[in-house]
Structure 1
Amino acid sequence: MAAFNLTSSAPSILILNGIPGLETAHIWISIPFFILYILCLLANSTVLFVVGKEETLHKPMYLLLCMLALTDISMSTCVMPKALCIFWFGFKEITGEGCLTQMFFFHVTAATHSGILAAMGFERYIAISEPLRYGSILTNVRAASLALVGLTRSALFFLPVLFLLLRLPFCINRVIQHTYCEHMAILKILCVDTTVNQRYALVILLVFTVVDLGLIVLFYALIIRAVLRISSQKAHQKALNTCTAHVCVIIMSYTSNLFTSLTHRFGEGIGAHVHIILANLYVVIPPMLNPIIYGIKTKELRGKVGKYVCRM
Structure 2
Amino acid sequence: MTHLSRRRFNSLALSGLAVAGFGGAPAAAQGGPTITVVVPYTAGSAPDLFARLLTEHLHKAMDRTMIVENRVGASGNLGTLSVARATPDGTTLLVTANTIVMNPSLFKSLQYDPVKSFEPVAALVTANFALVVNAGLGTKTLAAFVAKAKAAKDPINYGSPGIGTPHHLCMELFRRRAGIELVHVPYRGLAPAVTDLAGGHISAMFMQVNAALELAKQGRVDVLALMGTARNPIAPDLATFAEQGIKDVDVDNWWAMFAPAGTPADVVKTLNARANEVLKRPDVLKAMETQGQTPMGGPPEVLKALVETDRARWAEVIKAAGIALD
TM-score, normalised with respect to structure 1: 0.27
* Higher strand residue share: 2
**Structure whose residues are more often helix by fraction:** 1
Q: Which has the higher contact order (CA 8 A, sep 6+)?
A: 1
